[in-house]
Amino acid sequence: MRRNKGFIDAVVRYCKEEIKVIRERDPAMHSDFEVFLYASFWAVLWYRVAHAFYLKKHYFIARAISQYARGATGIEIHPGARIGKGFFIDHGSGVIIGETTIIGNNVTLFQGVTLGGTGKESGKRHPTIGDNVMISTGAKVLGSFTVGENSKIGAGSVVLEEVPPNCTVVGVPGRIVKYHNAHIPREDMCQTDLPDPVKDDITGLKHANAQITNHLLELESELRALKAEKKESN
């Protein structure tokens, strides 16, 4: 009886925490009951159960639960992953989280995110995600390195190396475009208001090209003037 009561209390506590997290980060949630319609809610709930079995070395049961959750939600979380509190997956379809992934507190992922490895390495082969990190739609974080706290990964980025805290990363491969940004991503959940280094480079090249073109035009004008003077003197 005590064990059942403890389990029920844990589920109730989990539901309250998820309601708070989703209300904070998703304006589409209009009532507390809607939490039961979120794929993220069920994916993380089943992950917590599977992870408990994984820690007790009941690997087959753990994987069976995680595979059921994958089929039901479209979100694949390996039961060996370590995930902190306040974890939220918005929409969620196509999210993959590898076995040795470590995720801190208050992390947000969007659909299509992969936290994976780069091959058949042994040991720690998946990323470590710091507290308050936001990883946007379709981003891939591949390898055993750390994404520092309060960092933001832009949509569609492919991150292959360590990211310091308080940074913004965009591009393929991912490049750091903003340092020491103390803003916490979940405060606005913005995926679009990010720097565009490729556009900045193209703009710089266009400006340099315009300067060179103007200089050449000036030289051509001077050359024509010199030729005209020489012709008159002859």
pLDDT score of 200:
67
Task: Quote the DSSP letter at residue 138.
Answer: T
Residue 167, token pair as written in the block: 């940074």
pLDDT score of 171:
86
At 197, the pLDDT band (50, 70, 90 cuts) reads low
Comparing 213 with 51, the larger pLDDT belongs to: 51
Nearest to 141 by CA among 167, 162, 166: 162
Per the CB < 8 A criterion, the answer to whether 139 and 153 are in contact is yes
Q: How high is the mean pLDDT of the chain?
A: 84
**Fold exhibited by the domain 2-195:** UDP N-Acetylglucosamine Acyltransferase; domain 1 (2.160.10)
Per the CB < 8 A criterion, the answer to whether 49 and 72 are in contact is no
Per the CB < 8 A criterion, the answer to whether 184 and 104 are in contact is no
**Rg for the chain, CA atoms, rounded:** 26
Residue at 65: amino acid letter: I
Per the CB < 8 A criterion, the answer to whether 95 and 89 are in contact is yes
DSSP one-letter string for 66-130: HHHHHHHHS-EE-TT-EE-SS-EEES-TT-EE-TT-EE-SS-EEETT-EEE-SSS--SS-S-EE-
pLDDT score of 26:
78
Other residues' Cβ atoms within 10 Å of the Cβ of residue 202: 11
Per the CB < 8 A criterion, the answer to whether 142 and 118 are in contact is yes
Q: Residues 135-182: pLDDT tens digits?
A: 999 999 999 999 999 999 988 999 999 999 998 888 888 888 877 666
Q: Residues 37-87: pLDDT tens digits?
A: 888 889 999 999 999 999 999 999 999 999 999 999 999 999 999 999 989
